[in-house]
Amino acid sequence: MYNPDTAPYAPPLIASARSSAARNIAVVECHTRNDREIEAAASSLAGEASGGLLIIPEPFTNANRDRIIAQCERFRLPALNPVFGAASRGALISYTYDFNAMMRQPASYINRILRGESSGNLPVQAPTKYVLSVNLKVARGLSLNVPPALLGLADQVIE
């Protein structure tokens, strides 16, 4: 799920998901620009056997995260939201970079620039730590069994 007006980078992500999905998994693109389209997408995906929703982080879905999660709960649809803290807000799973660790990285760049290093010589910084969160309360509400191996990998398990 994403808004094509605010996420021009999403189509290649969808294409990649389609090409890597197992044969029995259909990747359905859900464009959403308003509450009505959020509800319609959640409703249609909930009708699919073993359906779920991957929320692509972008300005619209980030701003409407709680509405999207509420519709997923309403239609009993598991949601994966790769935004820090989404699992604690009602998504089934969240996997994303550690926001706090990422925000500490610029301090070393500022220090290097203040000491005279050219910003053009500094490499692009990528996240160094990722966080997997699983919401067991949501899993129980959806009658899903979370494999112990996944729980063992989780950095945060929400009861």
Domain boundaries, the chain: 10-97+129-158
pLDDT given at position 81: 92
pLDDT given at position 36: 97
Q: How many CB atoms lie within 10 A of CB 156?
A: 13
Provide mean pLDDT across the span 43-60.
Answer: 90
Question: Domain 10-97+129-158's class?
Answer: alpha beta
Instruction: State how far the Cα of 117 lies from the Cα of 106, in Å rounded to an integer.
Output: 14
Coil, helix or strand for 95? strand
Provide mean pLDDT across the span 38-65.
Answer: 92
pLDDT given at position 56: 94
pLDDT given at position 140: 96
Tell whether the model's pLDDT for residue 22 goes beyond 90. Answer: no
Tell me if the pTM is above 0.85. Answer: no
Provide mean pLDDT across the span 103-113.
Answer: 87
The one-letter amino acid code at 22 reads A
Provide mean pLDDT across the span 47-65.
Answer: 91
Structure tokens at 133: 């969160």
pLDDT given at position 135: 97
Residues 81, 85, 91, 92, CA torsion sign:
positive
Provide mean pLDDT across the span 20-32.
Answer: 88
DSSP assignment letter at 2: B
Provide mean pLDDT across the span 7-29.
Answer: 89
pLDDT given at position 157: 97
Burial letters 41-64, b for 16+ CB under 10 A, else e: bbeebbeeeebbbbbbbbebbeeb
The one-letter amino acid code at 28 reads V
Provide mean pLDDT across the span 38-63.
Answer: 92
